[in-house]
Amino acid sequence: SVVAPAVRGAACPPLELIQECSLEPCPVDCEMGSWDGWSTCTAQCNGGVRERVRRVLKLGSHGGRQCGATTDAEACNIQACDSDCTLTPWSEWSACTRSCGGGTQQRTRSVQADPVGGGSCASQDSFARVRHQSCAETPCEEELLDNGAEISLVCKEKLDVVILLDGGASAADAVGFFSFQEVAGHLVENLKPPKGTSEEDGPHFGVQVFGGALKSDKCMLGSGSGDVDLNSDCGIQWLKHLCDPEIDPNSAQKQPLKDKLMSFKFPGGTSLASEALGAAESELLHGREDARSVVIIFSAGFPFSAQKTAQAAQRLKTKARVMWVAVMREGATPDTSPLLRELEPWTSPPLSENLIGIRGGFSTLSKERTAKILAGRICNSEGLL
């Protein structure tokens, strides 16, 4: 500050001195954008790499925070290329297949994740995916099976039952085919629902006869040329579809299903079991979603094409329980019958429940006792009354 101002003397020197300072630039930190999504893995198995990137929005300078990496990578799909399928936990045990006399229960495992690469998966009917145990081992009362036609069983289970009758040469003649008709009619009678049960909640039936004089070779040769008529080309005739009422209100005759069965004439000729099974698979598309599906085939001979029948049976087994009733040749037993050996892989497990060999020829098959035994196997223990 000025103590004594100048009077005619020298001027006072400057009272302030200004000089520049902190001339270096301020630090600038780097600014980066968000990471983009991960790229597709470079391999589907045995280990690959996937990457992601981000952009630099502003470079760091003058001692500010520098930018980080603009790319990132990590390992992916490190599982082996050849991995087996993954199965679900075991299901609960099913209802017993019989109410008495010894039945079976089963529990299953489904495929949760498909196999990868050369990995494998146990078949649907293998021991790894289906287990059985005995149940209802109390002997049945004799009157359940031998009281005669005046007593019928009652089934309250919701079933879609498709019955296939071999009407070809394997039935031998009209007498043998009549035996098929007879036991099928008794079977329908013994699977009727209790009184008061609505038609929707009881068993539904589809009945097919396969056999006859074929008008072309389209089905036998699988030529695939032109439209195929199931009746004339394949010998497939439906007496009743699953969705048809048991008594057609539009029919003047109003025949019950059992009467329709008994009045059908023996077709004879060639029977194509493979086409019959394929038609049964298509028929199940018209069934009820919440009903248990059963297909039961009555036959007494070997199919026209074992290979095609095997393929059709394998497909059908994924949609329904497949049962075979086979009339064995005279002198044959279940252990020695070539026909039963042929039918084994085409039958749903367990074979003890679903593959029935009839001894004694067609006369034994026609007895109502046989139909009651079959009804007891088809309707589970919770549904049979």
User: What pLDDT was estimated at residue 100?
Assistant: 64
In this structure, how many other beta carbons lie within 10 angstroms of the beta carbon of residue 236? 24
At residue 156 the predicted structure's pLDDT band, cuts being 50, 70 and 90, is: confident
Give the tens place of pLDDT for each residue, 310-325: 999 999 999 999 999 9
User: What pLDDT was estimated at residue 221?
Assistant: 60
**Starting at the edge strand that comes first in sequence, how are the strands of the sheet with 292-299 ordered?**
236-240, 204-210, 159-166, 292-299, 321-327, 355-358
Answer yes or no: is pLDDT of 290 > 70.
yes
Residue with tokens 């223990």: 381
Strand-strand pairing, 236-240 and 204-210:
antiparallel
User: 140: which residues sit within 8 A by CB, 6+ positions away?
Assistant: 99, 100, 101, 376
Given a contact cutoff of 8 angstroms between Cβ atoms, the answer to whether 285 and 316 are in contact is no
- Average pLDDT of span 19-24: 81
Give the whole-number percent of the chain exceeding pLDDT 70: 86
User: What pLDDT was estimated at residue 38?
Assistant: 94
- Average pLDDT of span 255-268: 83
The string of DSSP codes covering 219-262 is HHHT---S---TTTTT-EEEEE-TTS-SS-TT-SS---HHHHHH
Q: Which of 257, 274, 259 is nearest to 168 (CA)?
A: 274
User: What pLDDT was estimated at residue 51?
Assistant: 95
User: What pLDDT was estimated at residue 144?
Assistant: 43
- Average pLDDT of span 275-293: 92
User: What pLDDT was estimated at residue 177?
Assistant: 87
Given a contact cutoff of 8 angstroms between Cβ atoms, the answer to whether 186 and 259 are in contact is no
Answer yes or no: is pLDDT of 9 > 80.
no
Q: What CA dihedral angle connects 103, 109, 115 and 118, to 10 degrees? A: -30
User: What pLDDT was estimated at residue 146?
Assistant: 41
User: What pLDDT was estimated at residue 253?
Assistant: 46
Answer yes or no: is pLDDT of 150 > 50.
no
Q: Which of 293, 176, 212, 203 is nearest to 257 (CA)?
A: 203
Q: Say how far apart CA 280 and CA 313 lie, in whole Å.
A: 10
Angle subtended by helix axes 174-190 and 368-378, to nearest 10: 50
Residue with tokens 């990457």: 51
By CB atoms closer than 10 A (0-12, 13-18, 19+), residue 67 is middle
- Average pLDDT of span 332-345: 87
Give the tens place of pLDDT for each residue, 114-145: 988 788 999 988 999 999 898 877 665 443 44
- Average pLDDT of span 253-279: 83
Answer yes or no: is pLDDT of 30 > 70.
yes
Residue with tokens 């248990």: 292
Q: Which residue has the higher pLDDT, 258 or 364?
A: 258
Give the whole-number percent of the chain exceeding pLDDT 90: 32
Q: Say how far apart CA 38 and CA 53 lie, in whole Å.
A: 8
User: What pLDDT was estimated at residue 90?
Assistant: 95
Answer yes or no: is pLDDT of 4 > 80.
no
User: What pLDDT was estimated at residue 170?
Assistant: 65
Q: What CA dihedral angle connects 284, 285, 287 and 288, to 10 degrees? A: 130
User: What pLDDT was estimated at residue 378?
Assistant: 83
At residue 255 the predicted structure's pLDDT band, cuts being 50, 70 and 90, is: low
Q: Say how far apart CA 353 and CA 377 lie, in whole Å.
A: 7
Q: What's the whole-model pTM score? A: 0.64
Residue 53, beta-bridge partner list: 71
Structure tokens at 355: 């593959």
Q: Which residue has the higher pLDDT, 363 or 274?
A: 274
User: What pLDDT was estimated at residue 118?
Assistant: 80
**Which of 56-65, 148-157, 326-335 has the largest mean confidence?**
56-65
Average pLDDT value over all residues in the chain: 82
User: What pLDDT was estimated at residue 153?
Assistant: 65
Answer yes or no: is pLDDT of 147 > 50.
no
Residue with tokens 């045995």: 46
Given a contact cutoff of 8 angstroms between Cβ atoms, the answer to whether 12 and 3 are in contact is no
